[in-house]
Copies of this chain bind each other. A is one copy, B any other.
Amino acid sequence: MARPSYDDYCRLREEFFNREQSRGLGADLVLSADEQRLNRYVMHLKQQELAKGVENPYELVSARHFFEMLERINESPLFKVIQQMPKGGVLHAHDTAIGSTELIVRATRHEHLWQSGNIPQADGEPMPVYKFSRTKPAAEGDWRLVADIRRSIGDEAYEEAIRKMFTLYTKDPLNAHRDINDVWRKFMALFICFEPMVTYRPVWEEYFYGCLEELLADNVTYLEFRGLLPPVYDLDDRTYSPEEIVQMYVDQSEKFLRAHPNFMGVKFIYAPLKFCDDRTFDGYLTLVQKLKERFPQFIAGFDLVGQEDLGRPHTDFNERLLQLPPAINFFFHAGETNWAGRRDENLIDAILLGTKRIGHGFAALKHPVVLEQIKQRQVCIELNPISNQVLKLVQDFRNHPGAFYFSDNYPVVVSSDDPSFWCASPLSHDFFVAFMGLASARADIRLLKKLALNSIEYSSMEVAEKAAAVQKWTTAWNKFVEETLKTIPAEF
C-alpha cells in the first residue's frame, strides 16, 4: 500500500491526536476567556514542575513517593492554586481519618484522658492504650493521666510525639514497610490506638466538626463519608447507640451548615468491617435499614471495609445483601488490589449488586466487562491515589490505573481516603498528584474542573440538591478564577 504524502500524513495525525484528546476527562468543557488565562498560568506552572523531571527523573514529583515530595509540593505555587480551587466534594473518606493530626493533638488536651504504655520511640514498639475516665481505668496497665505526662515532659514534646505516632509518614517510605500486609498492619494499629480517644463523646463531636472546618478550609464543600459507627462513650460510662452516634453527626453537620451556608451538605455511608461472621453481618444489615428509616436524607447507603486481599470475598455476602430493600444504595470498595483473578473479582459483585460507586477500582482495568459496565451504568470510580501509593499498590503515580480512566473519560472522582495518616490535606494533595501524575502532561484545568463537577454529579444528593450544589460551586469557582487572576503575572 502506498504511503500518504507528508501533508496528508500531518492532517491525519492532527485528526488522530484531536480525536484522542477529545476523549479525555474534561475535554468536553469549554473555558471562558478568564478561565483560559488562568489555564495558561496553571499549565505554565505544571510544565515548569514536570520539566524538572524530564532531565532528572529523580526530581519528578509524580514519580516519587508522596512522603519524599511532600515538602516540595507544599511549597509549590501550583499546589497553592489547587488549594484555593473549589474542588467540590470528598466522596471517599473514612470517619476517623479525615481530620488532620492536629485534631488528635487537640483531643489529647481534654481532661480525664489516661494513657497506658509509652509512645513508641522506634518502629515496631507497641502503641499505648488510651481511655477517657474520671478515675483510673480498671483495665490492667500502667495508667497515667495524659495531663501528668504532659507536665513531666512538657506539652510541646508530648504533642510532637503524638504527631509522629499517628501517621504513616516517614522519611524513608520505600524501606519502611516491606509489603502491603506490613503497611496495613501499621495502618490498622493507628485506627485502633486512637479509637478510644476519638470516641469519647466531647471529642467525637468536636473532631467531626473540626473535619468539616478543615474540608472547608481546603475549599471542599461537600462530604460523603464512610464510617464504622464505633461505640461512643462518656465519663458516666454511657455507651451511645449507633442511632445516637449518627444523630451526633447530623447535629454537628447542621450546626456547621448553619454557620457556613456555602457548604453543600454531608451524607454518611455505613461501612462496617468485612472481617466478620455471618451473625455480625446480619446485624449490619438490620442496622443500616434502621438508620436509613430514621435518617433518610443523611444515610447514603452501605459499604464494607478492610484489606481486600485478606477479607472474605463478596460472594460470601451476596445472598444476604440481595435481601436489603432497594432503598439502600451500595457504595462498595472493590478492586483495591494488585491481584487479578482473586479478590479483585469483588468488582463483578459490586457491579451486579448495582453499586452506585466503586471505592478505588484499582483493578477494574484488568476486567474488560467491568470496564464496559462502568461506562454503561455510569458507576463512578472513587480514586484515592495517595492512599494507593502509601498502602503499596503502586509506586509511580504515572502507573496508576487512574491514568487510563482519565484518558478515556471514565466516570471518576478523586478523593483522599484517610488523609490524616499521610499528612495530606482533605483533598488538595490528591488533586495535585492526580493532575501531575495520573493525568497526561497535557491535561489542563478542564480536568480539575471536571473532577469537581463529577463529585457533585456522582454524589448521593437528590436532583434538587445537586442543582443547588452546582450553583454554589459555580459561584465559588468564578470567584476563585477572578481572585487568582488578580495575583498572576501580566504575561499570562
Taking beta carbons and an 8 Å cutoff, which residues of A are in contact with B? 1-6, 9, 12-13, 16-17, 19-20, 23, 54, 56-58, 60, 63, 174, 178-182, 309, 315, 318-319, 322-324, 326, 338-342, 345, 348-349, 351-354, 365-370, 393-396, 398-399, 403-404, 407-408, 439-443
A60: which B residues are within 8 A, CB to CB?
179
Q: Are B19 and A57 in contact (CB under 8 A)?
A: no
Q: Are A341 and B404 in contact (CB under 8 A)?
A: no
Expressed in whole angstroms, the Cα–Cα distance for A52 and B348 within the complex equals 25
Expressed in whole angstroms, the Cα–Cα distance for A98 and B205 within the complex equals 66
Determine the residue in chain B with the shortest Cβ distance to A319: B6
A442: which B residues are within 8 A, CB to CB?
340-341
Determine the residue in chain B with the shortest Cβ distance to A58: B179
Leading 5 A-B pairs by shortest Cβ distance: A341-B441, A341-B440, A341-B442, A57-B179, A340-B440
Q: Are A399 and B394 in contact (CB under 8 A)?
A: yes
Contact partner of A20 (CB less than 8 A), chosen from B182, B318, B369, is B369
Expressed in whole angstroms, the Cα–Cα distance for A354 and B393 within the complex equals 36
The copy count of this chain in the complex is 2
Determine the residue in chain B with the shortest Cβ distance to A396: B338
Q: Are B367 and A407 in contact (CB under 8 A)?
A: yes
Expressed in whole angstroms, the Cα–Cα distance for A332 and B486 within the complex equals 48
**Contact status of A181 and B13, CB under 8 A, knowing A3-B324, A338-B396, A341-B442:** no
Contact partner of A441 (CB less than 8 A), chosen from B326, B340, B348, B353, is B340
Expressed in whole angstroms, the Cα–Cα distance for A437 and B366 within the complex equals 12
Contact partner of A338 (CB less than 8 A), chosen from B2, B339, B398, is B398
Q: Are B23 and A443 in contact (CB under 8 A)?
A: no
A404: which B residues are within 8 A, CB to CB?
365-366, 404
Q: Are A339 and B403 in contact (CB under 8 A)?
A: no
A354: which B residues are within 8 A, CB to CB?
1, 3
Q: Are A365 and B403 in contact (CB under 8 A)?
A: yes
Expressed in whole angstroms, the Cα–Cα distance for A342 and B62 within the complex equals 14
Q: Are A366 and B322 in contact (CB under 8 A)?
A: no
Determine the residue in chain B with the shortest Cβ distance to A321: B3
Expressed in whole angstroms, the Cα–Cα distance for A315 and B354 within the complex equals 46
Expressed in whole angstroms, the Cα–Cα distance for A395 and B395 within the complex equals 7
Taking A60-B179, A366-B403, A393-B399 as known contacts, 10 extra A-B pairs with beta carbons closer than 8 A to each other, sorted by chain A number, are A3-B324, A9-B322, A13-B349, A16-B352, A17-B348, A19-B369, A20-B368, A58-B179, A338-B398, A366-B407
A338: which B residues are within 8 A, CB to CB?
63, 396, 398-399
Q: Are B9 and A403 in contact (CB under 8 A)?
A: no
Expressed in whole angstroms, the Cα–Cα distance for A381 and B21 within the complex equals 22
Contact partner of A9 (CB less than 8 A), chosen from B12, B352, B365, B399, is B352
26 A-B Cβ contacts within 8 A?
Answer: A3-B322, A3-B353, A9-B322, A12-B352, A13-B348, A13-B352, A16-B352, A17-B345, A19-B369, A20-B348, A54-B342, A57-B179, A58-B179, A63-B338, A338-B396, A338-B398, A339-B441, A340-B398, A340-B403, A340-B407, A341-B443, A365-B404, A366-B440, A368-B407, A395-B395, A395-B396
Chain B min CB distance to A363 (Å): 9
A58: which B residues are within 8 A, CB to CB?
178-179, 182
Expressed in whole angstroms, the Cα–Cα distance for A338 and B366 within the complex equals 18
Of the listed residues A1, A366, A396, the one surrounded by the most CB atoms of chain B closer than 10 A to its CB is A366
Determine the residue in chain B with the shortest Cβ distance to A403: B366
Expressed in whole angstroms, the Cα–Cα distance for A5 and B318 within the complex equals 10
A16: which B residues are within 8 A, CB to CB?
348, 351-352, 369
Determine the residue in chain B with the shortest Cβ distance to A184: B57
Contact partner of A309 (CB less than 8 A), chosen from B4, B54, B315, is B54
A322: which B residues are within 8 A, CB to CB?
3-6, 9
A20: which B residues are within 8 A, CB to CB?
348, 367-370
Q: Are A56 and B340 in contact (CB under 8 A)?
A: no
Determine the residue in chain B with the shortest Cβ distance to A12: B352
A23: which B residues are within 8 A, CB to CB?
368-369
A319: which B residues are within 8 A, CB to CB?
6
A399: which B residues are within 8 A, CB to CB?
338, 393-394, 399
Q: Are A318 and B366 in contact (CB under 8 A)?
A: no
